[in-house]
Amino acid sequence: MTATAALASLARAATVHPPTPPRAGGRVLAFDGLTIEAGGLDLGVGAVCGVGPDTRPAEVIGFRDGRTLLMALARTGPLLPGAGVVPLADAGRVSVGEALLGRILDGGGRPLDGGPVPRTTARVALDSPAANPLTRGGVRQVLDCGIRVVNALLTLGRGQRVGIMAGSGVGKSVLLGQIARACAADIVVVALIGERGREIGDFVTHQIDAATRARTILIAVAADDAPLLRVRGTMRAHAVAAHFASSGRHVLLIVDSLTRVAHAQREIGLALGEGAAARGYPPSAIALVPRLVERAGNDAVGGGSVTAIYTVLADGDDMNDPVVDAARGVLDGHIVLSRAVAQRGIYPAIDIAASVSRSMHDLVDDAHAAAAAAFRRDHALVEANRDLVLMGAYAPGADAALDAAFARVPAMEALRRQGRAEVCDFATARAALIAT
User: Alpha-carbon distance 137 to 146, whole Å?
Assistant: 24
Q: What is the pTM of this model?
A: 0.89
- Average of per-residue pLDDT across 291-303: 87
What's the CA angle centered on 100, arms 95 and 106, to 5 degrees? 75
Tell me what pLDDT residue 276 has: 80
Tell me what pLDDT residue 137 has: 81
User: Alpha-carbon distance 306 to 300, whole Å?
Assistant: 12
**63-77, 94-108, 404-418: which range is least confident on average?**
63-77
Residue with more model confidence, 163 or 390: 163
- The CATH topology of domain 368-435 is Substrate Binding Domain Of Dnak; Chain:A; Domain 2 (1.20.1270)
User: Alpha-carbon distance 85 to 52, whole Å?
Assistant: 6
- Give the mean pLDDT of the chain: 88
Residue with more model confidence, 277 or 296: 296
Q: Residue type for 174, please?
A: V
- Average of per-residue pLDDT across 14-33: 64
Q: CB of 210 within 8 A of CB of 181?
A: no
Q: CB of 170 within 8 A of CB of 351?
A: no
C-alpha distance from residue 235 to each of 228, 258, 433 (Å): 11, 12, 38
What is the percent of the chain with per-residue pLDDT over 70, rounded to a whole number?
A: 93
Q: CB of 288 within 8 A of CB of 224?
A: no
Q: CB of 336 within 8 A of CB of 328?
A: no
pLDDT in tens, 87-103: 987 767 899 999 999 99
pLDDT in tens, 309-358: 999 988 767 778 889 999 999 999 999 999 999 999 999 999 999 999 99
Confidence bin at 395 (pLDDT 50/70/90): confident
Write the DSSP string, 260-295. HHHHHHHHHHHHTTPPP-GGG--HHHHHHHHHHHTT
Peptide bond into 81 cis (omega under 30): no
User: Alpha-carbon distance 406 to 389, whole Å?
Assistant: 10
Cα of first residue to Cα of last residue in the chain, in angstroms, is: 110
Tell me what pLDDT residue 19 has: 40
- The CATH topology of domain 26-87 is Elongation Factor Tu (Ef-tu); domain 3 (2.40.30)
C-alpha distance from residue 170 to each of 274, 313, 354 (Å): 34, 11, 15
Residue with more model confidence, 37 or 91: 37
User: Alpha-carbon distance 111 to 219, whole Å?
Assistant: 9
Q: CB of 173 within 8 A of CB of 312?
A: no
> Would you list the domain boundaries of the chain?
26-87, 93-361, 368-435
- Average of per-residue pLDDT across 129-146: 85
Q: CB of 157 within 8 A of CB of 324?
A: no
Tell me what pLDDT residue 16 has: 42
Residue 1, pLDDT above cutoff 60: no
- Average of per-residue pLDDT across 65-85: 88
Confidence bin at 3 (pLDDT 50/70/90): very low
Residue 293, pLDDT above cutoff 60: yes
Residue 17, pLDDT above cutoff 50: no
Please tell me what DSSP assigns to residue 31: E
Region 93-361: CATH code: 3.40.50.12240
Q: CB of 191 within 8 A of CB of 233?
A: yes
Write the DSSP string, 38-87. EES----TT-EEEETTTTEEEEEEEEETTEEEEEESS---S--TT-EEEE
What is the percent of the chain with per-residue pLDDT over 90, rounded to a whole number?
A: 64
- Of 94, 104, 91, 106, the C-alpha closest to 57 is 91
User: Alpha-carbon distance 242 to 247, whole Å?
Assistant: 9
The burial of 395, by beta-carbon neighbours within 10 Å (0-12 exposed, 13-18 middle, 19 or more buried), is given as exposed
Confidence bin at 12 (pLDDT 50/70/90): very low
Longest CA pairwise span in the chain (Å): 125
pLDDT in tens, 147-170: 999 999 999 999 999 999 998 888
Phi, psi dihedral angles at 168 (to 5 degrees): -85, 145
CB proximity list for 43: less than 8 A, separation 6 or greater: 49, 60, 68, 87
Confidence bin at 204 (pLDDT 50/70/90): confident
Confidence bin at 2 (pLDDT 50/70/90): low
- Average of per-residue pLDDT across 192-203: 85
Tell me what pLDDT residue 396 has: 87
